[in-house]
A and B are shown apart, each in its own frame.
Chain A
């Protein structure tokens, strides 16, 4: 009976979201105050009923209601409760419910934190989000209802959650990723609302910016968590595989990054409006593409859910309707988006444009590499795959160019910057970066490596230009501290995020070029050397968990005779499904990770295993944390909260405001 209440709750949410997707939109067009005022309560209603449905599904998992098919397929009575709860997103149906719930939560948040915006605008935003929610719930009820029963004979026990998913990474990665993904629907809805109202001005950009920043920050964390999880769970020591399902979040992230920068130009200078709107649509399209790829069964991948063609067609229809409709509206409204404000060939606008072009090109080439095998198969019926070398060959040079611009952009000024000024500002920074790039790797490794030199050079370039910019901005103050206090949150946010790029860059480059690995067969008591470490297998013992049995090996790691760590890699077999699973053992460190995966035991009692040394691997995720923190800080800037007094500042007035605060004095 209770699962039926879940279905019923979803149907109610559908009805409410259909009303939310129509009346407020019509009301905004016809200036019907009553209908517009419906938007916020309806958004709350949709949120509550979707939330009830989600809670009921979670309840069905906790009480082991295996008459519900989704529960029977993804849980087991032996499964620990935390995994029963999170098994809600362990398969297609439940994860889509979580996805939809996230959307309703974002919608409610917009309803609550939009007091400063005109009612007609808010009703349009909520209306668009309501339409999207309605489409998602319809999809769920039509093709993948998580509350479907197994009739007439429910199984005595469930099939268990995929063993690779029984892990902390699975508890945190999917919800964060979904939250970030879905956040771009909000920015999309803002863009559509602006197109509908015909008011594409600096105010619209200012309203969108905090939402775009937060969505971007959460998506950054979501992707980083996925990378971290893949690193320690999948057992081959990689942190990014250019897997067709990893790529859509990255594509969305790249569009989102471009969008965050383009919104800055639109807010401050009133230009790039049409481009910004297009990016908002593209970022949203990227998130729908991700859904489509994982849920249609088009691709073989770690993430793919079992395939069902009708689902693919349905998602394609949603994608076509929303993206097609958005682009049509975009084309109709294009004349509105002209701007008369000019800027010089050497100006901050141009550097941000370069940033956007590079990010969009990177996103487009990843998109091409991801979809090319599918298109190729459809045309020729031959199966091919595009490997990591393609993606690296494209992505690495583009990011190097991007980082070069990244050093210049923040130091340049809006409208016009003289070449002499940039040279004067950056020549020392450039020289220092080159020197550091050559010297640091040489001192540490006592050898010349082009990869390490380039990486350190680029990272120094970022960090030193940040230092230079901060120094400039505090130079005219009585003392540095009050100068630092005078800088805005959004400024700190930007520099923190850029610093995160430098940290990540070091991590990516050094891990990629200097990682070591070795597969060996060790008998108890036997040792092997890798790098400066020696690994000794002490022995192995039997272990037993709540829903698995297995073996655990004990390996002592020494560095020049000094003990460094004792590692316990495991090999488990999950009882319900009989699936084997390796549990890595990692000794994490700021400068390097030691990492062991256990293979199998031979008849002689010796174990096969792979040993890895991963220098600076933590810096990849540390960089992402800096970036996400920067994005959040920028969204918390005071000026987004001061809007109540100044409802509609036009682009022109806005410029006079920015002219006073943004131009840096020459030091």
Chain B
């Protein structure tokens, strides 16, 4: 026979353990469902992204590539790591800090014909600061600030 206070303590421990197990299980499940992978324009060009998958792409907005329609909210531009470009299409209003020659991260999926359909366009908050994603894309493509005077110092 278990003593009453032991029994109670066991009850509490079981209660906590069950709660924790459920919570951890749910957490891991939710985590695995919600990972957005990040790709560079070079990786997109190499066909690493499955069309339709939700991914993020980072790069610089290519100078002279921004084309916004005059009669709708459609915008298209090229995100580049200075080795390869990805054409991005977005319907909506671009963030304040979106500019040619500046870093951008887009969220969305690759559509037909290799055009990236963005649901969300993120431009960084501070012009002196380059996001980790953009920096990585440029580093991998072998570009550096020195070769591209238009790029901000990081």
Contacts and interface: CB of A to CB of B under 8 A. Distances in A.
Interface of A: 162-164, 235, 299-304, 306-307, 342, 344-345, 350, 353, 357-358, 361, 364-365, 368-369, 372, 382-387, 389-390, 393-394, 397-398, 519-521, 577, 579-582, 597, 599-600, 602-604, 608-610
Contact of A519 (B56, B91, B125): B91
Interface string B69-84: 0111100000000000
Given A162-B126, A164-B125, A579-B127, A384 B36 contact: yes
Given A390-B30, A390-B31, A394-B26, A300 B133 contact: yes
A604 B93 contact: no
A300 B131 CA distance: 6
8 contacts: A361-B19, A382-B37, A383-B37, A383-B132, A521-B73, A599-B94, A600-B68, A608-B73
Given A361-B20, A365-B23, A385-B56, A582 B96 contact: yes
Contacts of B128: 306
B125 A521 contact: no
Given A300-B132, A599-B93, A600-B68, A385 B5 contact: no
B92 A519 contact: yes
Given A384-B37, A394-B30, A597 B133 contact: no
B70 A604 contact: yes
Interface of B: 5, 8, 11-12, 16, 19-20, 23, 26-27, 30-31, 33-38, 56, 68, 70-73, 91-97, 105, 124-129, 131-133, 136
- Give the secondary structure class of A's interface: mixed
B73 A387 contact: no
B92 A577 contact: no
Given A345-B8, A345-B11, A521-B73, A597 B36 contact: no
Given A389-B33, A393-B30, 15 more contacts: A162-B126, A300-B131, A302-B125, A307-B129, A365-B23, A383-B56, A385-B38, A390-B33, A520-B73, A521-B72, A579-B96, A599-B73, A600-B68, A602-B70, A604-B71
Contacts of A353: 12
A89 to B, nearest CB: 15
B60 to A, nearest CB: 15
B129 A609 contact: no
B125 A383 contact: no
Contact of B27 (A368, A382, A582): A368
Contact of A383 (B16, B38, B91, B93): B38
Contacts of A608: 73, 93
A385 B36 contact: yes
Contact of B8 (A342, A387, A609): A342
A602 B74 CA distance: 12
Nearest to B8: A345
B100 to A, nearest CB: 13
B98 to A, nearest CB: 9
